[in-house]
Chain A
Amino acid sequence: MSLKTFSRGGVHPPEYKLSAGKTIVELPPPEVAVIPLSQHLGVPAKVLVNRGDQVKVGQMIAQAAGFVSTNIHSSVSGKVLKVDLFMDSSGYRKMAVQIQVEGDQWLETIDRSDDLVRNSVLPAEDIRKKILEAGIVGMGGATFPSHVKLTVPQGKTAEYLIINGVECEPYLTADHSLMMERTEELFSGIQLMMKGLGVEKAIIGIENNKPDAIEKMKQVVQGSSVTVQGLKVKYPQGGEKQLVQALLKREVPSGGLPIDVGVVVFNVGTALAVYDAVMKNRPLIDRVVTVTGKSLEKPSNFIVRIGTPISSLVEKAGGVPDDTAKVINGGPMMGKALPTLDIPIVKGSSGILLINKNEARRREVKPCIRCSKCVTVCPMGLEPYLLMTLSEKALYERMEPEKVMDCIECGSCSYTCPSSRPLLDYIRMGKAEVGKIMRARKAV
């Protein structure tokens, strides 16, 4: 039987999983932590501390400022230096709390032992409440607040929970190492989420390039209603819509969410964070980050506190190589290039990738030869060449019927273009403009 995968488009970038199989190393807290107030999709959190306040690890320092927003906790103990603008991974200076670290004092309520806690007696409602309190967001990179996803909207029913262990981005191994080292906790987290959602069935999707993780997860889930499904390696299988289609053959409708077909998707990292929050009373204050790159001395998987500067992570992985020309927060396909290393790790940072100067620069843009490769690889069945032209010529109203809003920005089109055209750059701009037009229309 051929392995499952999504049906349309897709590419096969070289994997370069340099840090695969490396044990997760825990890094000590930084000397100064900078914790941004906007680490999630939605409204930035409202700050609760002032300059000079003493904080402990796990203490809430900012509160959710709306339904689509979430709490933020201090990842270190010490004194608040200031609440000010700091450069974050968005490339702009935004509000953040800067803390001078003094010792490592945790809140007493947090269970810091390694003991595995299995069964929870908490009702579904309390599970969701704890997830909100702990400030959990999607750890795959989209950083959508998890309590929102766990709240099934009126009139819709959730049937399946899908756990995303695909990690289709080249280089990244954070999720892989989690599945290998925290398997039991992960499974417990999945069961908690199933309870919180009220679903009977869960599927863990893992790409076939991680046979050890598939094997290990299979052993753990034996005898439960959770199944593990190996998937054929293809990018962007980690995209929600692609993963749902690969596993269940259900297509999320255009403009819809997975819940429209009875599915909720979470990343493996999120499942682990849920376990820590519900069973150990531990808010989201650290995460696993892959630090990698071809010229890097020691590509590694680290567990680091939120707010640790990226420069100190790279230092621990052997220092910045001389030929580094580009630093990416995330993977090479969807990650964001950073202007400096003086940027803190946030809840959504899954990896730091250093690209050397031979591969950093884009190639010269040539005319489109209409080879149709972008159309062939688009996983959403769009026509990137057309969308780019329309966007370039500012014909935004023609882009909406061409379904530009369905674009998941996976980058397969730009990746594959033989003329090195900046397809996704322009499509993204067009998307923003079409979004403005649609919002304006709604407002009228």
Chain B
Amino acid sequence: MSRTVLQDGFSAYLDAWEARIGSFLEKDAETIAGSAVLGADREPGYASDSTKGVLRGLPFGVKDNIAVKDMRLSCGSRLLDGFRSPYSATAVARLAAVGAMPAGKTNMDEFGMGSSTDNSAFMRTNNPWDVERVAGGSSGGSAAAVAAGLVPFALGSDTGGSVRQPANFCGVVGLKPTYGAVSRFGLVAYASSLETIGVLADSVARARTVFAAMRGADPLDQTSFDAPADAPSLLPLGGKPAEPRAIGVLSPSAVAKALASTLSGQAGPAGNGGPDEAAREASAAAMLEPEVALGFEAAKEGLRALGHRLVDVELPSLKYGVPAYYTIATAEASANLARFDGIRYGNRPAYAENPDGLIDGARGSGFGDEVKLRILLGTFVLRSGFQDRYYLRAQRIRTGIRLDFNRVLAGVDAVLMPVFPTRAFGRGERGLSPFAQKAADLFTCCANLAGLPALAFPTGVEGGLPVGVQLVGKAFGEGLLLDVAEGYEAAHPIARPAGYRAFWG
């Protein structure tokens, strides 16, 4: 079967939606990326999963930090405005190899740093459910484009929730695969040890086929792996009910309480916010807003009704997740973003007295404030003599979180968690402070710290906005998570925003 992007009325549909939401930084439905990624021939990972052909002719959006040959690769940054990639990411090449077509580059928070996509240097992306609200981030463009039906799926990257949170905000499926399951070659690095390329899709089944096509070891990414032989199958359910599973439920209120327990009792400098004030704010930011809590309870009921067994579980180390996450992420970012110096590519001042001046000028004018903040933080935590206090301590917390998950997942098949404490937030007064946005990464960032797969899927609509949950599973257990979510979707079809038309079958 062959499809074309230019179906009846689609052009007008695309233009009308784009005028309202602004999800693409570049659209080119005619472009079909060459499959050549630096000359290497690769076996796509779908062979054993009977999904061959399903993706043929489908266009997809690609977050603008994932390389598509000859397309822009700006990462939402002024520094890389105008830069075109000389090669394609392995994930893109594998999708192209089964006939899918990269159709454009989607907006994002600069270098993936943000939860709203408002940190893009180029434009805002609005939520298709309410254009006054953000699409989430950092893969906001991909989420909005899929939610509006402009593409059936899009690639994103998930460093601490950047696929799942915008998927949750826009009411689409967001899969963050196991660390190493999908090659990172061609993904512009923010925090290398945490991030993966992920899928935002209009259905669970679609997310499954996309993941199946792009996963698998890649010689160009030595941290990538094939799934072990005993990993859950990626075969589609094909209308059959999902096998009943034991699902651990992480109680959000218990998490908020645990966070409050990190109060040190020490007052900070007067009027300047101390550790306790920060802990209090973090605890408050992790409290679910009522609509999200309502949606979470409804999802539990829905899963029970499908025959799954729900048990309460605890992850004691989770309360340290956000500080550990930001310590590791910014440390790696400070090195990963060092290459953007304007010398070999990217924008730079027309004239500089010396190389240092050139680098200063390029970075000073090329990077946005949030990026500069995180580079500074990362540089700070890696200073010689301070690594034990920050970076190495964060790594120990990371190990603790991994062990917590291992312990819990020894007893259950998956852990059910909220994705984000709020639905899509607004801007200005109705927005979240930058600090609160970071603190709210609590539920998503732990899967990245543990390297585990996590699947966010919509479960309903509360107060006019989508709500959903996520399932975190064992390493290479994507198939099991997808089965549970696909069963849920069969019983509770995904709601679409007003004006949505289904073009993609």
Decide whether A and B are members of one complex: no
By a beta-carbon cutoff of 8 Å, the part of chain B in contact with chain A is: none
By a beta-carbon cutoff of 8 Å, the part of chain A in contact with chain B is: none
